[in-house]
Chains A and B, each alone.
Chain A
Amino acid sequence: MQHFQFYSTKSISDALHFLSEKGERTRIIAGGTDLIPRLRQENSLPDFVLNVLEIERLNGITERNHILRIGATTTHTQLVESGLLQRSCPSLVQAAASIGGPLIRNRGTIGGNLANASPAADLAPVLLAMDAEGVLMSERGTREVALRDFFIGPGKTLLNPNELLVEISIPLPKGTNLFLKLGRRQAMSLSIVNVAVCLEMEGGNCREAKIALGSVAATPIRCPRAENLLRGKEIDPELISKCAGEAMAMSKPVDDQRAKAWYRRQAGEVLLKRALFQAAGLRND
């Protein structure tokens, strides 16, 4: 690698000031698990790298007024080990546990997973299915962005160069939430397809349904048409099949090193059916 200057601070206002002046020429580093390999590949380096791992305020998981708040530098290991998340948001724990291996999880962060904006990001579908929001700060102020609007393309988000993603807020999910991932291995595997569902059931009737898919489009996506098929209906295997088909019809998978588009479409449909069966409390035959 050629050269950049390294800046580290414990103060969030210091970091925001740095970004207000030098944001366009800066890459932000937390765990570095995506950034460092990327810097090795790219032809030109940023002028500055801003280390945010020392800012304590950016780390931690709390719940207040039925809203979960997760600091952006919270690591995947912290997510997995959180009793609060295990009780209230198991799909987020499942997703975090599926990322990389222990070494990656000890460094990789929720903020990085989102800001890196890989279409295959594992935390994204879960957070989308729970209507999570990102809190973005700059020296000029704070804004909250629904994650549904956050991703605009592969590797691209709404983040301005002078902004920092500081926190992810999640309304406490009701009902059952689930995450499933298909990869080439059980660990150290980018997703070929991943799915997140959130179902609120009343007996056999579905009060609310939220479905999100990853690795099958330019960004992680919600599937509102498929959700509508379930909302207010009695859930049976036939309806689930129809719903999964509708969800996949919205997807635009591509061929890449991990899988072909046709495979993603087929496997995605199976995975989604499996998730819906489980979340609805039906036996998957």
Chain B
Amino acid sequence: MSPEANKILLKMVVNGKAVEVMVNPTQTLLKVLREDLGLTGTKKGCEQGDCGACTVLLEGKAVNACLVLALQAQGKEVETIEGLGTPERLHPLQKSFIQNGAVQCGFCTSGMLLSALALLRKNPNPTVEQIRRGISGNLCRCTGYMKIVKAIQDVSAFKE
């Protein structure tokens, strides 16, 4: 049986836009976002939920896209990094990351920003401890985390 014959139609709302794509049942949301929808801002790291590079918001909750089967997102809302701010109008978190030097290679950054966004939506004024806990599923090999935490701290009394 050819793989094409088994594709199923997946309908989602990604960054506010309705999308439709034919997917193989075995594909993860990560793969579909990156390869079928061209949204490569979400990164592929460990593919087993350990690193957080693939963080997206699924129905408002921060999740590892590598652990979601694409078809589990049927009919659901997904926010990726591409939906956060625009080049002309950066989101306050993005501005703060830049200002604080919280980006080096940038590979963890998409995931960090979305985890931070999810945290601040729930808890607009987190303590340092709460911030560290909020990003505890996102690994960074470059920065040592301190500037990331500061950048998130600086965006307090959060307004979207």
**Chain A contacts to B: CB under 8 angstroms:** 1-6, 8, 29, 31-33, 36-37, 40, 45, 49, 51, 53, 77, 100-104, 106-107, 186-188
Which residue of B has the minimal Cβ distance to A103?
B137
Contact B68 A32 (CB under 8 A): yes
Contact B68 A101 (CB under 8 A): no
Contact B48 A37 (CB under 8 A): yes
**Chain B contacts to A: CB under 8 angstroms:** 1, 3, 6, 8, 24-26, 28, 47-50, 52, 55, 61-64, 66-69, 71-72, 74, 115, 118-119, 133-134, 136-138
- Docked Cα-Cα span, A29 to B68, in Å, equals 10
Provided the pairs A6-B8, A102-B118 are in contact, do residues A187 and B71 lie with their beta carbons within 8 angstroms?
Answer: no
Contact A4 B26 (CB under 8 A): yes
Contact A104 B137 (CB under 8 A): yes
- Docked Cα-Cα span, A4 to B70, in Å, equals 13
Contacts of A104 in B (CB 8 A): 49, 64, 67, 137
- Docked Cα-Cα span, A2 to B6, in Å, equals 12
Q: Looking at the complex, which one of A45, A100, A107, A187 makes contact with B26 (CB distance below 8 Å)?
A: A45
- Docked Cα-Cα span, A53 to B63, in Å, equals 15
Contacts of B136 in A (CB 8 A): 101-102, 186-188
Interchain Cβ contacts under 8 Å between A and B, 17 examples: A3-B6, A3-B26, A5-B25, A6-B8, A36-B28, A37-B49, A49-B25, A49-B69, A53-B72, A77-B61, A100-B49, A102-B119, A103-B62, A104-B64, A107-B68, A186-B136, A187-B133
Contact A101 B48 (CB under 8 A): no
Contacts of B25 in A (CB 8 A): 3-6, 49
Query: Counting chain A CB atoms within 10 Å of each CB, which of B62, B69, B118, B133 scores highest?
Result: B69
- Docked Cα-Cα span, A1 to B69, in Å, equals 12
Contacts of A188 in B (CB 8 A): 50, 136-137
Provided the pairs A45-B26, A100-B137 are in contact, do residues A3 and B3 lie with their beta carbons within 8 angstroms?
Answer: yes
Query: Counting chain A CB atoms within 10 Å of each CB, which of B52, B63, B66 scores highest?
Result: B63
Contacts of B61 in A (CB 8 A): 77, 106
- Docked Cα-Cα span, A256 to B67, in Å, equals 25
Which residue of A has the minimal Cβ distance to B134?
A102
Which residue of A has the minimal Cβ distance to B3?
A3
A74 to chain B, nearest CB (A): 14
Contact B67 A107 (CB under 8 A): yes
Q: Looking at the complex, which one of B52, B72, B115 makes contact with A8 (CB distance below 8 Å)?
A: B72
Contact B137 A29 (CB under 8 A): no
Q: Looking at the complex, which one of A32, A77, A103 makes contact with B69 (CB distance below 8 Å)?
A: A32
A256 to chain B, nearest CB (A): 17
- Docked Cα-Cα span, A4 to B136, in Å, equals 33
